Amino acid sequence: MTPRTRQPEIGQRLAAARLQRGLAQKEVARSAGVAASYLSRIENGKVQPTFKLVMQVVGALGADLAEIAQAPPKSSAASRGPCPVTNKGHCLLDLIGPTSEGGRYTPRTVRLLRKFAGYVESAEPTRLRAMEILLEDLAQASKPTK
């Protein structure tokens, strides 16, 4: 298979099933008997779990193996890119609260954040540095002048 036709990895499928159920990584990890940081690495394709561990996570999700084996639909959470995770294993997007204007992030903003997270995950170091410089510049430009 070419990379374009390759089916999503098991980690992406587990993440999609978890997000579809509205479960936090921390609670699924606890139920499966693994660290939330390890579940995060599985979901982001950093490590390949054993079959036994996959079955533990599937059980913690309340899913069955057939569901995980099926390719998630294009609109699933996994197709939107990985979620950036805190050191404690929380998805940052789950922790996003009200904006500085008191409102909530729109679905469009959340989609952009997820895409950005996916890009950051795979970007080369020089591009990451360029993004840091751009973000620093934007932060300086948005500060009120005295």
CATH of the domain at 1: 1.10.260.40
Q: What is the mean pLDDT of residues 55-72?
A: 84
In a domain, 65, yes or no: yes
- Residues 101, 133, single domain; the answer is yes
Which pLDDT score, from 0 to 100, does residue 97 have? 55
Q: What is the mean pLDDT of residues 99-125?
A: 72
Residue-averaged pLDDT of the chain: 75
- Residues 59, 111, single domain; the answer is no
Residue 42: CB partners within 8 Å, gap ≥ 6?
10, 11, 14, 48, 49, 53, 57
Counting residues of the chain whose pLDDT is more than 90, the rounded percentage is 18
Which pLDDT score, from 0 to 100, does residue 30 have? 94
- Residue 12 pLDDT level (bands cut at 50, 70, 90): confident
- Residues 70, 135, single domain; the answer is no
Angle at 48 between CA 42 and CA 50, to 5 degrees: 105
Which pLDDT score, from 0 to 100, does residue 96 have? 58
- Residue 78 pLDDT level (bands cut at 50, 70, 90): very low
Domain count, the chain: 2
Query: Which residue would you say has higher pLDDT here, 4 or 47?
Result: 47
- Residues 102, 72, single domain; the answer is no
In a domain, 85, yes or no: no
Cα–Cα dist 59/31, whole Å: 8
In a domain, 90, yes or no: no
Q: What is the mean pLDDT of residues 128-146?
A: 79
- Residues 133, 70, single domain; the answer is no
Task: Rank 4-13, 59-68, 69-78, 119-128 by mean pLDDT and report only the highest.
Answer: 59-68
What range defines the domain where residue 3 resides? 1-80
In a domain, 140, yes or no: yes
Which pLDDT score, from 0 to 100, does residue 92 have? 63
In a domain, 59, yes or no: yes
